[in-house]
C-alpha cells in the first residue's frame, strides 16, 4: 500500500516506545521533571488515542486526540507529457481522439494553490488518521516545440479530497514521522479527477520552553515523493488554452505549421505517417488557430508524470500550547518547489 511501504514501519515506531509531542526520549531535563511527574498522575478518560492512559502514566505528554487544521499549499513542478491523442469539435467538424506520437515539448510546468481543511484523530499515540478537503486553483503551462513553437497556459479552479495517515515516534533526542496520503484533485476542465499519491519521511527535534514545558519549537528535515495518475482526458476551447498572443500571431503560427508540413517527404514512411495524422487532426486544429476561432473545442488524452518525484523539505512548528500550533514547510531541494503554511487547533471531545 502506498501510504506505508511496509507494516514494519508502524511496528518499529511502536517498539521505540516514544509517543510524546514534547519529548522524543524518556530523558527529561531537570526543569521539566515536575511537569513530567504531573503527567503521570493524569487520569485520562478519553477513548482515543488507545493506550492514552498508558502514555500519560509513563510521563509522555501526548497531543490532544482531535484536531482541525487549515493548510495553505503552493506547489510548482515540471511535468513530462507522453502518449498524446487529439480531436476537434466545431459546428461543422467532429474529429474523434487520434494518436499524435510525434509532438515534441520543451519544459512544461504545473502550479497549484490550495486551501485544505484537514480534520484528524490520533487512533494510537503513534498513529494519526486524517482527511483532506480543499479548494484552489491551478495553472498548467505547456510549451510545444514540434511541429511549431506554441505556448499553452490553462488556468482553472480545482477541488480536492482524500485521506492519509501519519506514524510517529522518537529515537533518542530526535523524532521521526512517516506520512502518506492519497487525494483526488478535480480541475474544472478535466472529465475525471487526478489521483495524487504522496509519501514523506521527516526527522526533527523539539526545543522545549524552559518555564512552559507545554510550549515548544520544532524543526525538521525530510523528503517527499509525489506520484500523479498518468492518464488525463478532457476537452477545452482554444480560447481557454491559448493566450491572446497566439491569436495575435494566428496567421504566422498557421504559416509556420504549413512550413513544417510541407517539409515532410511523402516517400519516407515515417513522414508519410505524420502526413496522414496531420491531415486527419492537426491541420484542422491549426486552421482553426489561423482563423482565430477560439470557440473550437480540442479534445485530448495524454499521460503525464512529474519530472522529479522526490524533493527535499525543511520545516518548523511553533506550539503555543496543547490547543494551538503554527507550521511552515518549504520544498527547497530538487525540481519541485513548495510552500505550506498551516494553523492547527487541537481539542478534547
Q: Which three cell numbers stand for residue 325?
A: 500550533
Mean pLDDT across the stretch 274-291? 97
250-262 vs 283-290: helix crossing angle, rounded to 10: 150
Q: Alpha helix (H) ranges present in the chain?
A: 7-15, 33-39, 52-57, 238-241, 244-248, 250-262, 269-277, 283-290
- The pLDDT assigned to 20 comes to 38
Q: Which three cell numbers stand for residue 70?
A: 487549515
Coil, strand or helix at 221: strand
- Average pLDDT for the chain: 88
Angstrom distance (rounded) from CA 348 to CA 343: 17
Could you tell me if 338 and 74 are in contact, meaning their C-beta atoms sit under 8 angstroms apart? yes
Q: CA nearest 225: which of 251, 252, 196? A: 196
Angstrom distance (rounded) from CA 293 to CA 297: 10
Between 19 and 295, the higher pLDDT residue: 295
DSSP one-letter code for 32: G
Q: Scan for cell 487532426, then name that residue.
A: 281
Distance spanning both ends of the chain, measured CA to CA = 31
pLDDT above 60 (res 22): no
Angstrom distance (rounded) from CA 69 to CA 193: 24
pLDDT tens digits along 108-153: 999 999 999 999 999 999 999 999 999 999 999 999 999 999 999 9
Could you tell me if 140 and 109 are in contact, meaning their C-beta atoms sit under 8 angstroms apart? yes
Q: CA nearest 240: which of 288, 169, 298? A: 298
pLDDT above 80 (res 31): no
Angstrom distance (rounded) from CA 152 to CA 344: 38
pLDDT tens digits along 222-239: 999 999 877 888 899 999
Residue 20, Cβ neighbours under 10 Å: how many?
24
Size (the chain), residues? 349
Mean pLDDT lowest among 53-62, 155-164, 260-269: 53-62
Could you tell me if 127 and 10 are in contact, meaning their C-beta atoms sit under 8 angstroms apart? yes
Domains of the chain (ranges, CATH numbers): 7-234+303-347 (2.40.128)
pTM: 0.84
Amino acid at each position: 500500500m502506498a501510504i506505508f511501504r511496509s507494516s514494519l514501519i508502524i511496528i518499529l515506531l511502536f517498539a521505540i516506545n516514544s509517543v510524546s509531542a514534547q519529548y522524543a526520549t524518556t530523558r527529561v531535563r531537570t526543569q521539566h521533571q515536575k511537569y513530567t511527574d504531573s503527567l503521570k498522575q493524569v487520569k485520562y478518560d478519553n477513548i482515543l488515542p488507545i493506550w492514552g492512559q498508558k502514555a500519560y502514566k509513563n510521563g509522555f505528554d501526548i497531543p490532544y486526540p482531535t484536531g482541525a487544521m487549515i493548510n495553505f499549499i503552493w506547489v510548482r513542478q515540471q511535468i513530462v507529457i507522453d502518449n498524446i491523442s487529439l480531436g476537434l469539435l466545431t459546428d461543422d467538424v467532429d474529429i474523434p481522439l487520434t494518436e499524435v506520437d510525434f509532438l515534441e515539448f520543451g519544459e512544461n510546468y504545473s502550479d497549484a494553490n490550495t486551501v485544505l481543511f484537514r480534520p484528524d484523530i490520533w487512533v494510537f499515540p503513534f498513529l494519526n488518521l486524517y482527511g483532506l478537503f480543499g479548494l484552489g486553483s491551478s495553472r498548467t503551462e505547456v510549451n510545444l516545440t514540434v511541429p511549431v513553437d506554441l505556448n499553452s497556459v490553462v488556468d482553472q479552479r480545482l477541488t480536492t479530497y482524500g485521506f492519509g495517515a501519519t506514524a510517529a515516534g522518537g529515537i533518542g533526542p530526535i523524532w521521526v514521522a512517516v506520512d502518506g496520503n492519497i487525494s483526488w484533485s478535480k480541475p474544472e476542465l478535466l472529465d475525471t479527477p487526478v489521483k495524487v499519491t504522496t509519501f514523506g519521511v521527516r526527522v526533527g527535534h523539539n526545543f522545549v520552553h524552559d518555564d512552559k514545558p507545554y510550549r515548544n519549537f520544532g524543526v525538521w528535515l525530510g523528503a517527499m515523493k509525489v506520484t500523479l495518475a498518468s492518464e488525463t482526458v478532457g476537452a477545452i476551447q482554444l480560447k481557454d488554452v491559448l493566450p491572446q498572443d497566439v491569436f495575435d500571431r494566428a496567421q504566422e503560427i498557421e504559416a509556420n505549421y504549413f512550413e513544417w508540413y510541407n517539409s515532410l517527404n511523402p516517400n519516407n514512411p515515417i513522414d508519410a505517417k505524420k502526413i496522414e495524422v496531420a491531415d486527419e487532426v492537426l491541420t484542422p486544429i491549426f486552421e482553426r488557430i489561423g482563423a482565430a476561432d477560439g470557440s473550437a473545442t480540442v479534445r485530448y488524452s495524454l499521460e503525464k508524470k512529474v519530472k522529479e518525484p522526490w524533493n527535499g523539505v525543511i520545516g518548523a512548528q511553533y506550539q503555543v500550547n496543547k490547543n494551538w500550533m503554527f507550521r511552515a514547510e518549504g520544498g527547497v531541494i530538487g525540481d519541485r518547489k513548495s510552500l505550506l503554511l498551516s494553523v492547527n487547533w487541537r481539542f478534547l471531545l
